[in-house]
Each structure stands twice: as C-alpha cells, then as structure tokens.
Amino acid sequence: MIAAGAERVRRESGTFDASAYFRAANYIGAVQLYLQDNVLLRAPLTKAHIKPRLLGHWGTQPGINLIWAHLNRMARDPNQSILPIIGPGHGAPAVNANLFLDGTLGDYYPQYVRTEAGLRNLARAFSHPSGLPSHVGPAIPGSIHEGGELGYCLAHAFGAVLDNPDMTAVCVIGDGEAETGPLAASWQAHRFVNPATSGTVLPILHLNGYKLSGPTIFGRVSGLQLHEYLHGCGYEIRVVEPRTEMNAHVMMDAALDWAFGQIAAIREAARAGQLPERSCWPAIVLRTPKGWTGPRVVDGKQVEGTSRAHQLPIADPAHNPEHLALLENWLRSYDPDTLFDADGTPSHAVTRACPSGAARLGMHPIVTGPVPPPLTLPDVDANAIQIGEPGCASAESTRVLGGYLREVFLKNAAAANFRLFSPDETTSNRLDPVFAATERAFMLPLTTEDEHFARDGRVIEILSEHVCEGLLEGYALSGRYGMHACYEGFAPIVDSMIAQHAKWLKSSREVEWRLPVPSLNILLTSHAWRQEHNGYSHQGPGSIDNLISKKGGIVRIYFPPDANSLLVVGEHCLQSKNEINLIIASKHQAPQWLAIDDARRNFAAGASVWEWAGTESAAGSSPDVILAAAGDVPAEETIAAAALLKKHVPSLCTRVVIVMDLFALTPRATHPHGLEFADFARTFGSAEPVVFAFHGYPRVIHELVHGRENAQRFHVRGYIEEGATTTPFDMLVLNRMSRFHLALEALRRTNLAAEGSQEAFEFFTERLEAHHKYIADNGIDMPEVASWR
C-alpha cells in the first residue's frame, strides 16, 4: 500500500533519480574528512590540499546517505511530515552533506551556500576550532538528537512523535548502538504510543557489521534470528541488502514505499478505532558494507566491509604518496565533474531529488517553529494545604503535587502538551491523583484486574529509567512539557543522559536561531532517607553530584521542605525553559511547615531564616551557632535539633536556616541563583559556626560554599554510604545526621560554653544509646522520635 502522494512523486521523479544525489552526498562526506582546498578536484590533488589534522569517520556515512536520498522522495509528498533522527554518533559529515545539497545549511549559515566556496568552507569547518562539530548537535539544522548520545535515538524519536499525529520520525540506528541497554529497551516504546493521536516512528537498523574495532552482534546473527528478535519486539521488517548501488536504490525505494504504506494503514485503522491489540509496526533493516563505496584495499589490507573503514580509511595522504593517489582515485570515483556545475553548484541531476522549502528534512517545524506556548497552569493556592502552626499538620508532599498535576492534565487536555513519565512508580510515589484526569498509556491487551490503563493515557510507565528519560527528552525538545518521576536511588542510571541533555541545552543557547524549549523536569522521590525498608541498594543521592558539575546557567536543584513548597517549585519548573530542574521530595507523611505565601517567599529567597525555629530573635543577639539544612528530612532533623537545644541549653542562641534552592549557596559568579555576598552573610553570618544537615553527600555543600567567607566554618552532615534494612530514624543515626548528632555537633562548635551544655551533651549521647537498644528490642523507632512534632 503506497500513499497517493508518494506514488505521484515516484511517477514524477523516477526510481533512480537518487543515484547522482547519493554519489554527491558520499563525495561531500569524504571531502569534509580530508580536504581544505581543491574541493571539486578541478586540479590534481596535492599535499597542500590536505587538511593538516584529519578527523572524523567514514564507515557509517554511505548508509545514512542512501537512507536520506530516498527519504527526500517521501518528503516531497505534501502529506508527509518527516523528522530524521540520526543515531550513529559519527554520521555528522553525512548529515552536513545532505543539508548542504538541499540548501538548508546555506539558509542557516551563508558561508555554506551551495557553491564551490561554500563547499570549501564546509570542508574546512568540519571538526575545526569554532567550526562544525564532529557529531550532529544543536548547531545542525533539523536536529533534536546529539549523535554522541549512544543508545538514546529511538527513545528520543518516540518522545518526539507523542501528540504529534502527523509526524513520522525516521530513526537511523547504528548496529553498534543497538547493543546498548537504552536502545534495547526502546524497541518496546511503541507499546505506549497510540497512533490515533500520536505520530509514528520508523526505525531503520543500519547493519554495516562492525564497531570501532570488532564485529557487532546484530551484524553476525543470522537473518532469521534478527527477524525473530525484532518481530518479538512488535515489528514487521523489510531487509534491504543490495548487491550493487543501483540495486540499493530499487530496494530502498520499495522498502520505504512499503513502510510508509504500513504507517498510513496503521494510522487509518487506529483513527477508525480498529487497530489490533497486537499490531506490528514497520521497521527496515539495511545491510551494507562498512565504508561502502570507499577504498576497498589500503596498504594491502581489506578496508571496505571491515572495522578499518570505521574512521579514516586512508590514514596519511599528506605524507604518503600512495595514500594521496588512493584518496584522489576514491574521490574521483564519484565523478564530481558530473555532480557540480562550473561554479560549484550541485547539478540538476543531484538537486532534482531534493524537496524544497519547508519540506526539506532539516526544516521540520518542531525545530524551526515558534517558541512553544506555556502550559495553562492551575491555581497553586487552590491546591495548597492548610498547616496551622508550623509542624503540626502532616501530609504526603508528592500526593499534594499529584493533585496539582491532575489539574495540569485537565487544563491542558485540548492542547495535549503535557505528560508524566515514570518507571512503574506513579502510585508508589503518591502521584496517583493524576489518574482522576488521565490513565496509563498501554497498547497491549488488558484484563479486568488492570487499573488505570487506556490507549489514550497520558502517563507512560515502562520499567526502564533510560526509556522514560529519553521519551521526556524527545518530548521536551519537540516543544512539549513533562515530568519524569523516579526513585532517587535509581536516578543515577540516567545520569549520563541528563549530562548529555545539559550539554545540548548549553550548546543550543549559543546557537542564535535555536529557540527555547521546555525544561527537563525530574522529580526524585522515594529518596535515600526513607528507603530503610528496601535497604542499602535503594539508598543513593548521587544524581545531585552529577548535576552540580554542569554549567550553572542550565541546572537547578530544589529541596522543597514540605508540600506547599513542592507546589511552588513544581509551578515554577513547569513554566521554565532551557533548564534542567532536579526536584527532591519525600512521598511519606511528614510535618508541614509553610503556608503557601511563606513557601513562595522562601522559594524566591533560595535560603531563608526560620525565626520561629531558633532562639536568635528572642535572645536579641547574634547566634552562637547556625543550624542549616537542605532537604525535607534534614530540615525536620534540624528543627528538632534546635528544639532540643532550646529545651536543654536555653542560653544557647541558635539560628535556623532552610535552603530550598541548593545553588543559593554558591557565589553568584558561579551560578545565577547564588546569593550575593551581603545576602549570604545576612543569612549564614560571617564568623558563626554552621552545622549543616544535607540530603546528599557532605562534600557537595563544601564544594558549593567554596569561595564564601570563612567557608571552613561549615560543618556538614549528610549521607555517608551507611544504610541497611532498618528504621527511618536509624538511617539518620547510621549516617550521623540525626537530631541528636546535629545538637551534639552544635555544642562542640560552641565549645560547650553555655550553661547546661555538658549535661545536654551527656543526655543526647544517652538518647542515641537508648535508640540502638529500642530498635533492637522493638524493631521500630522510639515514640519520642516517631511521634515528634
């Protein structure tokens, strides 16, 4: 079945029009690797024409160029909306070549206009300082995927087509990256995409058989095994395994006609309510030799079809005359005189294969379109909880946020621009109030026992942090809003993905024509301090460490101490653009401290003095010690420690500071949210000792306050890799961050000078001993801790 528009384009253009285009793309790709001049070979090649430093990769380029050449025909159909996502990390020269040939690159960068001078500039710029990168990144038109993000392309593609019903994301997957865990799990992502309301992904698995220095798994398994594997993942495949170049064009033409015909049929059935529960999506397997059309033998060794074609098939043409001759013969094999006119413009035989205007593959509107409109957000005040006196009320913070997100879903139902992604943890993380507004998406059969599942659900749960993160990234990069909710202990699984996204955002801000995209919002809950029941394996706040090292203008880390604070933080993050927002909040019942207006003020300040919790205002003098915290459990322990000191050492003057925005601690020169030095001194003093209870590893705070006045006065308690299956309070005791430890540390830092300090020191020590005995005898925490308010 072939779409009518595609059939008309076939009749108009002919089957083999892509041949000249394919040769031109391969030629330009090779030129970028080697030449700095004489780019059209209008003269014999000499050493002077060779770049002084050779960088880049050849092996994957011809396969990408073959696919792109034939996607051009599909894109000329006005009924198609095609977004190419190129997974092979080293395919940038091929992408550059195709964007040069259809004029897209020149439209964005006049120095790369389609002339001999433009091609010379392109060749010189590739992998050159301040030029074009060796991987496809934000500087390349039409891209939402960084080629170096090995294994994420398919998840990004599925994220992009969600709620984009007319889009087909054609995702080229290298057989090396097909071995990665994220990619392996991403084959299942179509189980959550409803083609009635979303677009379609066409995976093209490019098998050239080799990685950097060895064979690939999929390149060596039998065709039957590969077919069974992909069929088991829910795909019907067509194999393109050409014997000649002309044969390749015939086969790729037919495969794309089949695939787009299948896509049209799937959409038609889905939108008529007739899609089978176990429908198969189309996929193409392209088998070509690695480095196809390049030099076959170099220095007596086979190159084409081996790992030797992965990078530069000819190593040293500038200094080896035989290599120089090989390079010239290789480049001339594409017959460049027939591919370019006298002024260096690609010939009509080449460009007639290209779509024009907005139909070009590098001009998709999700990349070039307007700034995405903001979400319609509900009234935070209407979702806030009433707390009375600080600490008297109790609530599950994430359940309150879940009610707010329910309203977000309802208010944006028509726009269909908000989704929640979670690895099977929406209910566990107390976000299940959203199920009053939407369901979990699922395209496979359901039973009467399955709750909150529907084909059109807007919550996606797949037990793969990689896929959840990749779907959200693709969704946000294509202009929509979402949140990834995850157990904190498992979030480091995707730290490398978040790091790559941070690099993308940092680089995209430096590209003038790149428009802001919705922020990446990550909610970490079920966190380390409340994972005593699951034990040591579930305890790990390491994602904080990953993010604090990233560019200050990109990352934000928030520690809302209660439910109303979480609402304020959530509202802010859902409105933000071009940022990565990490929010860490407990899902368990906990004391509530701030009315909604107070939460707003505390959030705006970043770090605030909670006068009611300390004794500074009553004493009328500067504090003897400052008790500070970042994190909901650390805040509770800090407030409890201050209460203990107030009771047992009333003459000790204390100040309590709660940090909601972690980067408020760092100097403004390091992060835009850093407090000015005067504001920092008003909050944290300048000479007073600071006992700091931190949610994560203590070294994080020491790193952040580096550069502050007398930074050595910060004495930090936090997670020190002590944990077990134990009680909640014992987690704090094991990591020496309990209220008793904090109070003892405060006494030590004031030299036990205040009246009653020695007695208090002995009492707090005795209560720690009592704790150990109580949990050993009873298996639960002491009532004075568990029931404390």
DSSP result, 26-76: HHHHHHHHHBSS-TT-SS---GGGB-SS-----TTHHHHHHHHHHHHHHHT
Where residue 14 falls among pLDDT bands split at 50, 70, 90? very low
Contacts of 599 (CB under 8 A, 6+ apart): 384, 560, 562, 564, 565, 567, 568
Distance CA 297, CA 52 (A): 24
- 397's tokens: 């913070």
Q: Which of 299, 332, 365 is at the close of a domain? A: 365
Closest CA to 630 of 717, 532, 528, 745: 717
Where residue 4 falls among pLDDT bands split at 50, 70, 90? very low
497 and 618 assigned to the same domain = no
246 and 385 assigned to the same domain = no
Give the whole-number percent of the chain exceeding pLDDT 90. 88
183 and 320 assigned to the same domain = yes
* Residue 563 clears pLDDT 80, i.e. is over it: yes
- 723's tokens: 């944990």
* Residue 2 clears pLDDT 70, i.e. is over it: no
306 and 356 assigned to the same domain = yes
Has residue 525 been placed in a domain? yes
332 and 280 assigned to the same domain = yes
What's the average model confidence in pLDDT over 186-205? 97
Place of tokens 């209560």: 767
561 and 639 assigned to the same domain = no
480 and 556 assigned to the same domain = yes
CA 431 from centre of chain: 22
145 and 186 assigned to the same domain = yes
Torsions phi, psi for 661 (to 5 deg):
-110, 110
Q: Which domain holds residue 558?
A: 380-590
* Residue 619 clears pLDDT 80, i.e. is over it: no
Has residue 598 been placed in a domain? no
- 750's tokens: 């004031």
Where residue 12 falls among pLDDT bands split at 50, 70, 90? very low
325 and 396 assigned to the same domain = no
Has residue 10 been placed in a domain? no
Where residue 1 falls among pLDDT bands split at 50, 70, 90? very low
Q: What is the CATH number of the domain that holds 655?
A: 3.40.50.920
Integer Rg of the chain from CA: 30
Distance CA 185, CA 173 (A): 13
Q: Which of 590, 622, 657 is at the close of a domain? A: 590
Residue 341: count other Cβ atoms within 10 Å of its Cβ: 15
Check: CB of residue 398 under 8 Å from CB of residue 430.
yes
* pLDDT tens by residue, 137-186: 999 999 999 887 889 999 999 999 999 999 999 999 999 999 999 999 99
Q: What is the CATH number of the domain that holds 583?
A: 3.40.50.970
pLDDT for 741: 98
pLDDT for 13: 44
184 and 314 assigned to the same domain = yes
Lowest-pLDDT range, 32-36, 290-294, 407-411, 613-617?
A: 613-617
- 105's tokens: 């690159």
Question: Helices (DSSP H) in 736-787: which residue ranges?
Answer: 739-749, 757-778, 783-786
* Residue 11 clears pLDDT 60, i.e. is over it: no
Average pLDDT of the chain is 94
The SS3 call for residue 141 is: coil
* pLDDT tens by residue, 680-700: 999 999 999 999 999 999 999
Has residue 256 been placed in a domain? yes
343 and 491 assigned to the same domain = no
Has residue 309 been placed in a domain? yes
625 and 578 assigned to the same domain = no
Q: Which of 337, 365, 393 is at the close of a domain? A: 365
Distance CA 666, CA 707 (A): 8
pLDDT for 487: 94
Give the whole-number percent of the chain exceeding pLDDT 70. 98
Place of tokens 């605030």: 608
Distance CA 474, CA 367 (A): 12
* pLDDT tens by residue, 439-455: 999 999 999 999 999 99
- 661's tokens: 């925005």
Where residue 618 falls among pLDDT bands split at 50, 70, 90? low
The SS3 call for residue 599 is: helix
Has residue 173 been placed in a domain? yes
Contacts of 232 (CB under 8 A, 6+ apart): none
pLDDT for 752: 74
Check: CB of residue 194 under 8 Å from CB of residue 443.
yes
* Structure letter (DSSP) for residue 452: S
Q: Tell the burial category of 422 from Cβ atoms under 10 Å away from its Cβ (0-12, 13-18, 19+).
A: buried
Number of domains into which the chain is organized: 3
| Helix (H) or strand (E) run with residue 14 in it | none
DSSP result, 99-130: HHHTTHHHHH-GGG-SSHHHHHHHHHHBTSTT
Distance CA 16, CA 246 (A): 8
Contacts of 73 (CB under 8 A, 6+ apart): 6, 9, 10, 13, 17, 18, 253, 256, 353
pLDDT for 121: 97
> Dihedral of CA 659/669/137/358: which sign?
positive
Residue 760: count other Cβ atoms within 10 Å of its Cβ: 22
Has residue 741 been placed in a domain? yes
Has residue 263 been placed in a domain? yes
What's the average model confidence in pLDDT over 746-771? 90
pLDDT for 276: 85
